[in-house]
Every structure is written in structure tokens, then in C-alpha cells.
Amino acid sequence: MDAQQNAPTAPEAPAVPGRMTEAYSAGGHDYTFAEFGVGPGGTARNPAAAEWVRAIRQGFHQAEPCEETLERTLSWMHAERVRLRGAYPHAVPEAALPTDRPVASFASWEGSVNVGRGRLLRARLISEVTVRPTHSRRGLLRRLMTADLDRARRDGYPVALLTATEATIYGRFGFGAATFLREVQVDATTRLQLKAPTVGTVEMADGDAVRRLAPVLFQRFHERSHGSVSRVAYHWPEYTGEYQLTPQKPDPEIRCAVHYDDAMQPDGYVTYRFEPNTSYPLTLTVVDLVGATPDVSLALWEFVTSLDLVDRVRFRRAPVEDPLAWAMVDRAKYRVTAEFDEVWVRVLDPVAALEARPYTPRGRIVLSLVDSMGYADGIWELDTTSGRPVVERLGDRPRTADDDAGRSVPAVELPEGADVAMRVDVLGSLYLGAVKASTLEQAGLIVARDEDALRDLQDFMETPTAPYGVTHF
Ligand SMILES: CC(=O)SCCNC(=O)CCNC(=O)[C@H](O)C(C)(C)COP(=O)(O)OP(=O)(O)OC[C@H]1O[C@@H](n2cnc3c(N)ncnc32)[C@H](O)[C@@H]1OP(=O)(O)O
């Protein structure tokens, strides 16, 4: 790429990497949007992608990347075939960052989400969204998001997923908070007493070996745990201490242990770090805990709470409905210190998304979906009477004043013939069963024909367990 560096003015569009997607002017600036991938050969062969990585680290207030961080980031992005998007300014004033450093970034790649009964649904995963503060609120994010979701819809992805830094940003793009996690603290001053004996055995393990084993064990968890999202290559060095992209060095304090079944086959692992033991209570932080089955996770908890010189154990990725709290003899030793949203779901194709997940009731319900970006807008019928869900688009919904005004978060009205109506972000929140329809109706987010219609919706969307995943991306 040969974009002009530090040019005071540039009369025409800069040369951008990959494919130019759009030219755009706002706030007195001209921008070119581009889309590209990461090839083999690291920074030497991908200078535009390296500049893009510098931009995202700046956007998240992280240190300028060292060579190893750049190589590792480009390596996982190449392996996962990540699509990078950027907005490039045509001109920058003296001393400003160069024109080949994008002022806005956006990445997406293919992954999967477990939608229940072990079904893995293809999903577009979105991350690394940044807009340089001096170029924000000019519509750059909206353009990047629209381009990527358009492409994902064309490529047949039923849903897009992201994890959000702020809860206020993504509803307008049709994303709804769909899985939640807890930060918990378990008092470990006395060995954890569980109501039933745990299974298998635990052995301390070598970090390199766990790094090789972890993707396989995670896959078993992913295929079992409804709500789980696939991981990518950068997670393993991060969670086993080999290398952390922030603060750009190994973490030799991370220790690992593996759980084995009765045949001594590995079926889970935990990685953890002792916090500096200069203050009390002595604290162990669990970095990653993955059990192929819930009883394996309990055994791993028993292990970390039985270590000497540990007064309490912290974990930031515990399930909202945590079997551990119920398995403990003394539940008072389990304390929830925070609860937060994790994965946000955006339904792009209601037929593919709603037909993919399982339902318990047999019946039929008509949903009116409001989607200001258009993909899921309309009236849809979900019919499970045959035992297999069939979803059909019945037609358009009547336009409203908010539609005509082009509002990104329009009001919801119940059209003739529909049982329930909601915006598509609300469907995203219901999709994996994290929240009851009645709660969302009480929050003013669902309009139902009557109580029966609301109960039907609730019965359809409810899942046997709360969705749970341990992937942050
Ligand atoms: C999936 C992820 O990667 S999460 C990480 C998100 N990134 C960050 O938090 C890094 C710091 N923040 C930023 O980089 C930017 O401020 C961004 C990406 C949040 C927003 O980028 P911008 O280019 O300013 O957004 P843009 O101007 O396109 O606004 C799009 C819409 O979002 C709204 N919006 C933008 N930022 C926010 C915000 N922080 N809170 C609420 N609404 C917001 C705008 O009002 C606009 O609404 P409208 O289209 O309905 O009128």
C-alpha cells in the first residue's frame, strides 16, 4: 500500500488496501472505506493490516504494538480468515497520524454459536470496532456496520454476534444482549464442601501441553453448552500465559491443571493466577475454566478452592445459573460480585435463525419484527406443530411514522393478525433464552395481543438451561 504519509492535503482518494467499498464525506473530511484480508507472511507482507492493528490498539487505549504483538495478531487473523474494514482519511494536517492509518476499524470472521441441543449455528462474529475520537459521531461506525451486515446477510449468515463495551451502542443496529455472566468469589478459607462427591482426578499440568489440549476440550464444552460461542487462536496463548496481547508479554504467573475421567482421559482444565500475596485475603483468580461436562467443572472448582495459601477464589466467567452455588454445602461462601452482558445476538435471517433452535411446545405464533436495517423486518410465522420448526415470512408489516422518519430505534406497533410485535434486537435477547418474554413485555419492549399470546411467546423461547459461554471476543 502506498498511501501518502503525513500529507497536508491530498486532492484525491488515497490508495487503500483490498477493495474500496465506499467514498464518504462528513465533518469537513473525505474518507475512503476499504475491505481486505490478512495474507501469510506477517507484517512484512501485510503492511496495511499492521497499520490497521496499530489503529485498533490506539482505539482501545492500548500501548503501541511491539513486533511480536503485530506478528501474533496478524497470525491469528490470517488463520481465521478475518475480514478487516477501515476508513481512510484523504488528507491529514502536519504532524497528524498518517493517511494509511485508518481512522475507523472493524473486523469480522466466521464462528458458531450453540443454539441448544448441541446445534452449532454458523455466525458472523464482529470485533475490533473503533473510531478515532477526532473522527467520531460522523457516521463512520454506521457505515462500517451496515457494509459488514449487508455482506454477512448476502453470505447467508443467520446471525451476527459481538461483545459490547457499552450497552448503549448496538441496539440501534439490531443487536440484543443475549448471554450474561457473573463475577463470583468463593471463600476458600476452609476446603470447599460439596453435597455430592466430585468425579475423576485433577493433576497440575504443563502450560505448553494445556495449550495444545485446550482447543479440543473447549470444543467438547462448546458442543454441549447452549449459548457457547467458538473461540479463535489468540485465546489459547492468552489464557495459558504464553503471551498476552495486553500487556504484550508472557504471564509466567499463570498455572494450569487438567481434569481426567476414570479412564485418565483429559476432559477439562483450569488456568489460574495467584494475586500478589502481600495483602489479605490471599486471592486466586481463575483465568479460564472449561469442563466437558458440568461435573468436571465442579471438580475443577474443588481443586482451586482446596489449594493451600488461598483464602478466596475469583472467577469472572461464571454462569448466571451456577450449579456450583447449589452444589456447595455452605452457599453463603459463594458471593456474586458483578453480573454483566456477554454475547449480543443480531438476527439477520429469521427463517434460518428461528428454524435452527429447538422448541419444546407444539404450536404456532405470528411475530411482527421491526428492523430499521431491513433484514428481519416483516411478519413471520413460527410453526412447530409438526415437531420441526418451520418459519415463513407472511408479508410486510404496515409502515409507521417512525419508519417514515428513518428512526434507528422505531416504536413498535402490533399489526392486524400478529400475536406479538418487537424490534429485532429484542428477538436477539430472546433467541438463546436468557430472559423471559414477560420480563421484556414489562420493560415495554414487546407488544402482545393478549396474555395468552405473551405466554405462548415465552413458552416458545424458553430454554431448559440459561445460555452459558466462556468466549470473549
Ligand atoms: C464490538 C466491539 O468492538 S465493542 C468496542 C466499541 N469500541 C469502543 O468502545 C472504542 C471507543 N469508541 C469508539 O471507537 C466510537 O465512539 C464508537 C465505535 C463507539 C462509535 O463510532 P462513531 O463513528 O462515533 O459512531 P457513528 O457516528 O457511526 O454513530 C452511529 C450511531 O451510534 C450512536 N452512537 C455512537 N457512539 C455511541 C455511544 N458511545 N453511545 C451511544 N450511542 C452511540 C450514534 O448516535 C449513532 O446513532 P444513529 O445512527 O442512530 O443516529
71 and 27: one domain? yes
Q: How confident is the model at residue 276 (pLDDT cuts 50, 70, 90)?
A: confident
Q: Give the number of residues written for the chain.
A: 473
Please check whether residue 168 lies inside any domain of the structure.
no
- At position 265, the amino acid (one-letter code) is Q
Please check whether residue 10 lies inside any domain of the structure.
no
- Cα of 373 vs centre of ligand 1, distance in Å, is 16
187 and 327: one domain? yes
- Which ligand 1 atom is at minimum distance from the Cα of 129? 3
Please check whether residue 165 lies inside any domain of the structure.
no
Task: Kindly state if the Cβ of 168 falls inside 6 Å of ligand 1.
Answer: yes
- Which ligand 1 atom is at minimum distance from the Cα of 132? 14
Q: Is the pLDDT of residue 316 over 80?
A: yes
The secondary structure of 66-127 as a DSSP string is PHHHHHHHHHHHHHTTPEEEEEEES---TTSPPTTS-SEEEEEEEEEEE-STTPEEEEEEEE
- Cα of 128 vs centre of ligand 1, distance in Å, is 12
Nearest CA to ligand 1 atom 39: 169
- Would you state the pLDDT for residue 191? 83
Task: Kindly state if the Cβ of 207 falls inside 6 Å of ligand 1.
Answer: no
Q: Which of 341, 369, 404 is the C-terminal boundary of a domain?
A: 341
**Which pLDDT tens digit goes with each residue over 193-218?**
999 999 999 999 999 999 999 999 99
Q: How confident is the model at residue 47 (pLDDT cuts 50, 70, 90)?
A: very high
CA distance 291 to 267: 6
CA distance 473 to 100: 26
Q: Is 298 annotated as a binding residue?
A: no
- Cα of 161 vs centre of ligand 1, distance in Å, is 16
3-state secondary structure of 341: strand
Please check whether residue 247 lies inside any domain of the structure.
yes
- Would you state the pLDDT for residue 2? 40
Q: Residue 28 contacts by C-beta under 8 Å, 6 or more apart in sequence?
A: none
**Which pLDDT tens digit goes with each residue over 57-103?**
999 999 999 999 999 999 999 999 999 999 999 999 999 999 999 99
Q: What is the mean pLDDT of the chain?
A: 95
Domain holding 414: CATH number? 3.30.1050.10
334 and 373: one domain? no
145 and 240: one domain? no
CB atoms within 10 A of CB 375: 19
134 and 199: one domain? no
- Would you state the pLDDT for residue 12? 62
Cα R_g (the chain), whole angstroms:
24
133 and 77: one domain? yes
Please check whether residue 39 lies inside any domain of the structure.
yes
- Cα of 340 vs centre of ligand 1, distance in Å, is 20
Q: How confident is the model at residue 15 (pLDDT cuts 50, 70, 90)?
A: confident
Find the domain containing 286 and state its range.
181-341
Task: Kindly state if the Cβ of 94 falls inside 6 Å of ligand 1.
Answer: no
127 and 186: one domain? no
Helix (H) or strand (E) holding 420: strand 420-423
- Would you state the pLDDT for residue 11? 44
Task: Kindly state if the Cβ of 131 falls inside 6 Å of ligand 1.
Answer: yes
**Which pLDDT tens digit goes with each residue over 410-441?**
999 999 999 999 999 999 999 999 999 999 99
Q: Which of 58, 105, 129, when mutated, tests ligand 1's pocket best, judged by the most ligand atoms within 8 Å of its CB?
A: 129
Please check whether residue 293 lies inside any domain of the structure.
yes
Q: Is the pLDDT of residue 147 over 80?
A: yes
Q: Is 141 annotated as a binding residue?
A: yes
Looking at the structure of the chain, the number of domains it has is 3
Percent of the chain surpassing pLDDT 70: 97
Q: Residue 157 contacts by C-beta under 8 Å, 6 or more apart in sequence?
A: 110, 122, 123, 124, 348, 349
Q: Is the pLDDT of residue 373 over 90?
A: yes
Q: Is 125 annotated as a binding residue?
A: no
Please check whether residue 414 lies inside any domain of the structure.
yes
Q: Which of 286, 317, 341 is the C-terminal boundary of a domain?
A: 341
- Cα of 86 vs centre of ligand 1, distance in Å, is 15
406 and 323: one domain? no
322 and 365: one domain? no
By annotation, the residues acting in catalysis are 170, 473
Task: Kindly state if the Cβ of 407 falls inside 6 Å of ligand 1.
Answer: no
- Would you state the pLDDT for residue 4? 42
Domain holding 268: CATH number? 3.40.630.30
Beta-carbon-side half-sphere exposure of residue 355 (alpha carbons within 13 Å): 14
Task: Kindly state if the Cβ of 127 falls inside 6 Å of ligand 1.
Answer: yes
- Would you state the pLDDT for residue 13? 65
Q: Which of 341, 362, 392 is the C-terminal boundary of a domain?
A: 341
309 and 359: one domain? no
81 and 191: one domain? no
- Which ligand 1 atom is at minimum distance from the Cα of 127? 3
Q: Which of 25, 56, 141, when mutated, tests ligand 1's pocket best, judged by the most ligand atoms within 8 Å of its CB?
A: 141
Please check whether residue 174 lies inside any domain of the structure.
no
Beta-bridge partners for 156: none
- Would you state the pLDDT for residue 280? 85
- Cα of 59 vs centre of ligand 1, distance in Å, is 12
- β 343-347/180-187 pair status: unpaired
249 and 379: one domain? no
Contact in structure between 227 and 270 (CB atoms under 8 Å): no
Task: Kindly state if the Cβ of 59 falls inside 6 Å of ligand 1.
Answer: yes
Q: Is the pLDDT of residue 239 over 50?
A: yes
Q: Is the pLDDT of residue 3 over 50?
A: no
